[in-house]
Amino acid sequence: MPQRHAIDAAQGLQIRNFTAGYPKRAVIRELNVPKLPRGEITVLLGPNGSGKSTLLRALAGLNRAQGEMILDGHDLMQMPFSKRAEQVVYLPQSLPAGVHLHVLESIIVAQRASGGRSHQSQTTAQVMDLLKLLGIEHLALSYLDQLSGGQKQLVGLAQSLIRQPSLLLLDEPLSALDLNYQFHVMDLVRRETRKRNIITVVVVHDINIALRHGDNVLMLKDGQLIADGQPEAVITAQSLAKVYGVRGRIERCSQGTPQILIDGLVDTPSL
């Protein structure tokens, strides 16, 4: 049993002294994040321009970065990009335009491109099961370039999950989805994160989604980590005022779910 605890303690992602951005401008500066455990969803919150998307792209190896990115005791920053890509999957806000493939074909292509982690090919039936989980099995033979923005986001999520990542990075995966699918997708991501025992980091703008679906929250402003921890410990009236400049409060609905209410702006005098 002690050996089991020692193994579990090594699992997870740590970010140390992490600086990321562009050749002439750093967006994230000397970021240190406590270990993000496997099987949990971490939500990135912050106003526009705070560095959320830059951080995700840097973790995926798509933006210039320095520092340490320790996954299960191994520094991914020291790995060739191809090796890191076997463990880290990044889903941008939208899929590339002009791709003329069937949905089913695109998922098979994504799996084949993932390298060693998913070398055991999924059958067509298993891929269809994944599409069914997402509620888009009826789109299997539709072309990507004929889908709506929301449908493309769902296909992108299927492409990401089929690659069996250790670290799943989702940049605003709900931005083109209606309320029904927003809840459905976050519920699915939570279940798959636990079932697959992966680390999921997701950017959202709706703070109520973080309260309902997140296990951990990182709140950023101007490239700096302002607060981290469980959602209700991070999302407070004080942090909302400091990071977003709003007067807000957290209250529970009749079913006990916490939700944020905004009363006004910090710099707006009360009437």
d(CA 110, CA 127): 11
Q: Residue 120's pLDDT band (boundaries 50, 70, 90)?
A: low
Supply the pTM of this predicted model: 0.91
Report residue 169 as tokens. Answer: 């990075």
Report residue 89 as tokens. Answer: 């999957």
Buried b or exposed e, range 39-78, using 16+ CB within 10 angstroms: bbbbbbbbeeebbbbbbbbbbbbebbbebebbbbeeebbe
Q: Which CATH number fits domain 1-87+165-235: 3.40.1160.10, 3.30.70.1230, 3.20.20.70, 3.40.50.300?
A: 3.40.50.300
d(CA 239, CA 233): 10
Predicted confidence at residue 121, as pLDDT, reads 60
Q: Is the pLDDT of residue 113 over 80?
A: no
Predicted confidence at residue 112, as pLDDT, reads 81
Give CA separation, 62 vs 15, 21, 91, in Å: 16, 10, 12
The pLDDT tens digits for 161-193 are 999 999 999 999 998 899 999 999 999 999 999
The pLDDT tens digits for 82-110 are 899 999 999 998 777 767 899 999 998 88
The domains of the chain are located at 1-87+165-235, 98-163
Q: Is the pLDDT of residue 8 over 90?
A: no
Q: Is the pLDDT of residue 3 over 60?
A: no
Asked if residues 113 and 81 have their Cβ atoms less than 8 Å apart, the reply is no
Asked if residues 201 and 52 have their Cβ atoms less than 8 Å apart, the reply is no
d(CA 219, CA 245): 14
